[in-house]
């Protein structure tokens, strides 16, 4: 990207921006929560809407001059509703964490209970990790996998805990779980105990929008929270969706603003509208399917090579690899080694990890960004083979050869500027 004014006026920031462009161009991005946005999304982010305050909602703002903010926010809302089959959307949350926090405050009183996925089995910080302030306000209890090798969730235990603890929310969703959930079971248990069924779809929103995995709304989930980047390939941000219009909508609007946030970032909301428009195109369906096909192609290579993947493989965009058992190195060491050859991913705790979170046993990686570049399942397999050679051999000659191959592969697939 060109930054003519920053180049002239601020050499230090210019250097960092160009550096990041080059890093993204030359490396292979495997962090499963990252992606490349279109130039159209970048244009919206850089638009004059960044100047505008717009507290409130379309048609009900606290400042004047809202003709164009109302237009873009309404477009984002209507496109989001269409993408996910929702009757309501709030597109103002600044992030997925904010979306979850607003959802909690809309539905709960202090002291109320949430039943969510065990963090070490794939749940997210905002699903009740003790380091978050949320746990000072609400009571989080957890369910997890019955069998780490297949990923099967222990639904009997979930029902038992739900009956005992009477949660107001049963929360599905994850940031490090490679399988589909039994949505009907979640809703069944939620109905039995009078809880609201909520799913945090942040990781798989694009796969749902593209029809490559099931939509929790089709199974009766009441609310979905999400980020708008990751597989959905929009700008960084959050969103809350409701299946059927109800009093929930008003509660969520109030929780987002004024409950939790001030002025919405209108340039970001315009970028959400653009990205949702892109995700409504038929090409996005192909993209979503290819993301999964590529992840499964990588999993096949790891499986053939006897590596241990949590849940035994993947049904979505991500893989959680136990590098400590498989290659005798820690997640942190694996992350650094792969980083040194231009492959970016992240160390990750695995279920029942015996190591510390800052240097756990696993790495987490996925295919949303590579697939945006046009990688096929053949390329994805090659990336997995390259990773195995780095993780097993680790000597400097191998690493030098691999670094060249990574760069050549990246050059073969320039980051696209447009998807439509």
Catalytic residues: 53, 55, 200, 227, 230, 236
In Å, how far are 330, 408, 412 from 336, measured between CA atoms? 10, 20, 24
CA distance 370 to 352: 30
Q: For residues 109-148, which are near ligand DSN according to CB under 6 A?
A: 124
Q: Is the separation of the CB atoms in 315 and 400 below 8 Å?
A: no
Residue number, 33 or 196, with CB nearest to ligand DSN: 33
In sequence order, what are the residues at sequence separation of 6 or more whose Cβ sits closer than 8 angstroms to the Cβ of residue 32?
203, 230, 317, 318, 364, 365, 366, 367, 368
Burial of 396 (0-12, 13-18, 19+ CB in 10 A): exposed
Binding mask 51-90 for ligand DSN (x = CB under 6 A): ----------------------------------------
Q: How many residues bind ligand DSN (CB under 6 A)?
A: 4
Judged by CB under 6 A, does residue 225 bind ligand DSN? no
Residue number, 124 or 381, with CB nearest to ligand DSN: 124
**At its nearest, how many Å lie between ligand DSN and the CB of residue 388?**
23
Judged by CB under 6 A, does residue 96 bind ligand DSN? yes
Question: Could you say which of 27, 29, 33, 103 contacts ligand DSN (CB under 6 A)?
Answer: 33
**At its nearest, how many Å lie between ligand DSN and the CB of residue 348?**
9
Please state the φ and ψ torsions of residue 71, each to the nearest 5 degrees.
-60, -50
Q: For residues 154-193, which are near ligand DSN according to CB under 6 A?
A: 175
**At its nearest, how many Å lie between ligand DSN and the CB of residue 143?**
19
- The residue whose two tokens read 């799913």 is 199
**At its nearest, how many Å lie between ligand DSN and the CB of residue 125?**
7
H helices of 146-246, in order, are 155-165, 183-193, 205-209
Which residue number has the CB closest to ligand DSN?
33
**At its nearest, how many Å lie between ligand DSN and the CB of residue 175?**
4
CA distance 316 to 357: 24
In sequence order, what are the residues at sequence separation of 6 or more whose Cβ sits closer than 8 angstroms to the Cβ of residue 89?
76, 77, 80, 81, 239, 240, 241, 242
Question: Which residues bind to ligand DSN, rule: CB under 6 A?
Answer: 33, 96, 124, 175
């Amino acid at each position: 990207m060109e930054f003519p004014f920053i180049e002239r006026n601020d050499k230090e920031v210019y250097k960092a921006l160009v550096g990041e462009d080059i890093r993204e161009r030359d490396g292979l991005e495997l962090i499963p929560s990252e992606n490349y946005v279109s130039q159209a999304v970048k244009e919206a982010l850089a638009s004059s809407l960044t100047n505008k305050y717009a507290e409130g909602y379309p048609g009900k703002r606290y400042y004047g001059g809202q003709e164009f903010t109302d237009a873009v926010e309404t477009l984002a809302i209507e496109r989001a509703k269409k993408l996910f089959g929702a009757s309501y959307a709030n597109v103002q949350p600044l992030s997925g964490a904010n979306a979850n926090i607003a959802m909690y405050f809309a539905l709960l009183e202090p002291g109320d209970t949430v039943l969510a996925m065990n963090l070490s089995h794939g749940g997210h910080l905002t699903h009740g990790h003790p380091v978050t302030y949320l746990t000072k306000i609400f009571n989080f209890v957890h369910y997890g996998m019955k069998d780490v090798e297949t990923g099967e969730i222990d639904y009997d235990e979930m029902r038992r805990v739900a009956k005992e603890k009477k949660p107001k929310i049963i929360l599905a969703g994850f940031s490090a779980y490679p399988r589909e959930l039994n949505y009907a079971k979640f809703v069944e248990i939620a109905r039995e105990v009078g809880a609201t069924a909520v799913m945090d779809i942040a990781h798989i929103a694009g796969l749902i929008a593209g029809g490559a995995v099931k939509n929790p709304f089709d199974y009766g989930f009441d609310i979905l929270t999400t980020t708008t980047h990751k597989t959905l390939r929009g700008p960084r941000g959050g969103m809350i969706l409701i299946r059927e219009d109800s009093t929930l909508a008003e509660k969520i609007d109030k929780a987002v603003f004024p409950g939790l946030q001030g002025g919405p970032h209108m340039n970001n909301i315009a970028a959400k509208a653009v990205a949702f428009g892109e995700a409504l195109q038929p090409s996005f369906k192909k993209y979503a399917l290819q993301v999964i096909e590529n992840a499964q192609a990588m999993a096949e290579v790891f499986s053939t090579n006897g590596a241990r993947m949590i849940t035994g493989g993947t049904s979505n965009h991500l893989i959680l690899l136990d590098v400590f058992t498989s290659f005798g190195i820690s997640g942190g060491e694996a992350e650094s080694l792969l980083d040194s050859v231009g492959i970016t991913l992240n160390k990750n705790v695995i279920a029942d990890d015996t190591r510390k979170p800052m240097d756990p046993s696993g790495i987490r990686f996925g295919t949303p960004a590579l697939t945006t570049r046009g990688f096929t399942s053949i390329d994805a397999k090659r990336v997995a083979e390259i990773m195995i050679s780095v993780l097993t051999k680790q000597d400097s000659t191998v690493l030098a050869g691999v670094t060249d191959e990574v760069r050549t592969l990246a050059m073969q697939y320039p980051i696209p500027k447009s998807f439509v």
